[in-house]
Chain A
C-alpha cells in the first residue's frame, strides 16, 4: 500500500477535518427590522437574543440563550403576531475543533407563511437543553435522534432513548466530528457485540413488564451422551 493510500485511510479514522470556529461564528449581524419576528424577539427578550444573521437569500437565523429556549419558542408559537405553529425540524450541527454544538429549530408559521431558524449554542461540557416536546409532540423523535447521534441531553423529555443506533451502543455519538467514520471499535468487536443475544437489548423495560418471560430455545447439549437407540444422525 502506498503512503498516499494509507494516509487516506488514516484520514477516515480521524474523522472530518475540523472547521476553524472563527470563520463560522462571527457572521455579520443582519438588520432585525427585515424580519418582524426577530424585531419582536429583540424587543421582548433583549439580551437572550444573542445574534441575528441573514443567510442564503433571505433565511433569518437567531441565536438565543439556551437556558431560555423553551420560553422564547413558546412565545414564538403562541403570540398571534408570529404563530410559528409548525416545528419542521430539530437537529444539531457540530463544527468540530471544540466549537459549541448548535441545536437548530426550523420553525414555520402556516398562518403568516414565514419561517425562522432558531439556534442554541451548547458548549461541549454542558450538552443539556430543555425539551420542546411539551410544545410539539413531533419533537419527541427528532430530539431522540439528536440525543442518539450527538449526545445532547434534553431535559423533561418523556422517552429519551437511542433511536437509530442500538440501545446498548457503546461507541459514542456517531455524528460528532471526533467520531471516526468506521466507529471506535474494531470490526471483530462490532460483530461480536452485534451478535450478542440478550433480551434486554431488544425491549424497553415497560415492554418487558407487559410480556411474559421469554421462552428458552432448547439447543441440544453437544456433550450429552447419545442414547443407544438413537440413529447416527445421518438417516
Chain B
C-alpha cells in the first residue's frame, strides 16, 4: 500500500513535534481570507409547525447570521373564538370551554371561571368546596409547571428530566381521571360547587403523590440547577428589568423572576390563601435561569400548600344549598315534584345572573389569570373575557430576544411558559 505523507499547506510551525504538542516559538500567523458574506439579513420562519415553538406559533425572525435582529410572533392559528361561543351558552355550559384553553393546567381555568361567576352572583361556596378548589388549583400548578420543566429541559438539550417530569404528570392525570373521568378536559366545576365530590381514596392518592414528588423534584434539581451547560444556556439570557416587566404586563413567575413580588394569592387573596403558610419565590436578574428557579421553588411551595389544605379539608356538603343554583339529586328529581321543577328549570333555562360585571383574577400557573364576565340579567353572559397570561407574556418575546442567538430565542420562548390554546382562544 502506497503511503502518502500529508503536508500541511499553511501556517504549520516546522518546530512543532509530531505528537502535536505546542512548542515555545510562536506560530506564523495564518492569513485566512475574509469570507465573502453578504451583509443582508435573512428572514426565517420558525413554525407554525415546529416543536420548539411549544404549539402552533409562528415566529418570523429577521436574522443577521445567527443573531436575532427582530422577531415577530404570529398567533391565531388555534383561534376558536371561545369568547364568542360563550355568549351562546348558559353560565354552566361555558365550563367545558375553559379547560380547552389551558390544557396544561385545566382545573385552574375551571375554578377561576366559576369563581368569577359566583362573585357576580353573590354566591358564597361551602368551606369544603373552597378547600377542594385550592387543592385542585395547587395540584394543577404543579401539573403545568411539570410540563414546562420537561419541555424546557428538552430545549436545553437534556432528555432525562423530561421522562422524570412526565412520570409525575401521569400521576396527576390519574388524579384528574378519578375525580372527573377525563385526563385533560376536566370540566370539574359548576357554579356553586363541583361536578362531584372527591371520590373515595382520592386524598390518599394525592398524599402518596405528595410523598413521592419532592424526591423527583430534587433529582431534576440535581440534574439541572448546577449543570454547566444549563447555566451557560440560561444565565443572562432574556433578561428584563423590573420596570420593563411591569410595563409589559408580565405576571406570574416571569414577573417574579425580576424581583417584583406580585402574586395574586398574596396581594388579592381569595379562598383564604392568606391563612396558608407559603412563600413567594422571587428572583433578582429576570433572566431565563431565575425564571427556572422561581418555578422550581413554586412547585415545592405548592406541595406545602397542598399538605396544609389536605390537613384542613372539612366535611360537609360541597355544593351550595340553593335549589336555584345546584341541581337536585337524581333521586329527588324523580320522586319529588318541587325538585323536578327545579331540575327542569335549571337545565332548560340555566341560572340567572344579576346585572353587572365582575373581574376575578387568580394566580394561574402562567401568571395572573383574570376572568371578566358581564351580565345583563339573563342566563347567558353578554361578554366573557379571559385575561390571558400567556398572551401578555409572549408579547415580550421580541424585546427579550433581540440581539441573542437563535438558539437562545428558543430558550427564552421556553422560559416564558406559554400555552397556545389560551393565547389564541
User: B-contacting residues of A (Cβ < 8 Å)?
Assistant: 12, 16-17, 19-20, 23-24, 27, 55-57, 59, 61, 85-89, 91, 93-96, 104, 106, 108, 110, 113, 115, 117, 136-142, 145, 149, 163-166, 174-175, 179, 181, 202-204, 207, 210-212
Contact = CB atoms under 8 A, between A and B. Distances in A.
A27 B251 CA distance: 32
A165 B79 contact: yes
Given A106-B387, A164-B75, A166-B76, 17 more contacts: A16-B382, A91-B385, A93-B382, A94-B382, A110-B260, A115-B359, A139-B249, A164-B76, A164-B425, A174-B81, A175-B81, A175-B84, A203-B60, A207-B43, A207-B72, A211-B43, A212-B43
B247 A136 contact: yes
A85 to B, nearest CB: 6
Contacts of B355: 23-24, 27
B62 interface: yes
A214 to B, nearest CB: 9
Contacts of A86: 246, 249, 262
- Categorize the interface residue count of chain B: 35 or more
Interface stretch (B142-150, B199-207, B369-377): B369-377
A179 B384 CA distance: 16
9 contacts: A23-B377, A86-B246, A95-B376, A108-B268, A110-B267, A139-B249, A179-B84, A181-B88, A211-B42
A15 B299 CA distance: 44
Nearest to A135: B247
Contacts of A142: 249, 392
Contacts of B109: none
Contacts of A140: 395
B356 interface: yes
Nearest to A106: B359
A212 B63 CA distance: 12
Given A88-B370, A164-B76, A115 B249 contact: no
B357 A141 contact: no
B41 interface: yes
Contacts of A104: 372
Contacts of A136: 247-249
B238 interface: no
A16 B380 contact: yes
Interface of B: 40-43, 60, 62, 69-70, 72, 74-76, 79, 81, 83-85, 87-88, 119-120, 122, 244, 246-251, 260, 262, 267-268, 355-359, 361, 368, 370, 372, 374, 376-378, 380, 382-383, 385, 387, 391-392, 395, 399, 424-425
Contacts of A59: 357-359
Contacts of B395: 138, 140-141
Given A86-B246, A138-B247, A56 B84 contact: no
A214 B376 CA distance: 51
A165 B76 contact: yes
Nearest to B261: A110
A115 B247 CA distance: 17
A89 B372 contact: yes
B122 A57 contact: yes
Nearest to B246: A85
A56 B88 contact: no
A220 B88 CA distance: 49
B88 A16 contact: yes
A19 B375 CA distance: 10
Contacts of A166: 76
B7 to A, nearest CB: 42
Contacts of A113: 267-268
Contact of A91 (B122, B249, B372): B372
Contacts of B260: 110
A57 B119 contact: yes
A213 B41 CA distance: 13
A163 B383 contact: no
Contact of B392 (A17, A24, A93, A138): A138
Q: Which of A56, A115, A142 has the most CB of B within 10 A?
A: A56
Contact of B88 (A12, A55, A88, A211): A12
Given A23-B376, A93-B383, A136-B247, A181 B84 contact: yes
B75 A163 contact: yes
A104 B383 CA distance: 12
A137 to B, nearest CB: 5
A14 B60 CA distance: 38
Contacts of B356: 27, 55-56
A56 B119 contact: yes
A135 B250 CA distance: 15
A87 B262 CA distance: 13
Contacts of B424: 164
Contacts of A106: 359, 370, 372, 387
Nearest to B83: A175
Contacts of B43: 203, 207, 210-212
Nearest to A58: B119
Contacts of B385: 89, 91, 93
Contact of B391 (A16, A141, A211): A141
Contacts of A88: 249, 251, 359, 361, 368, 370, 387
A233 to B, nearest CB: 30
A20 B376 CA distance: 8
Contacts of B267: 110, 113
B74 to A, nearest CB: 8
A145 B249 CA distance: 15
Contacts of B249: 86-88, 136-139, 142
B289 to A, nearest CB: 23
Q: Which of A136, A137, A164, A179 has the most CB of B within 10 A?
A: A164
A104 B359 CA distance: 11
B83 A56 contact: no
A216 B87 CA distance: 44
Given A56-B357, A86-B249, A110-B262, A210 B88 contact: no
B103 to A, nearest CB: 18
Given A61-B357, A93-B374, A19 B268 contact: no
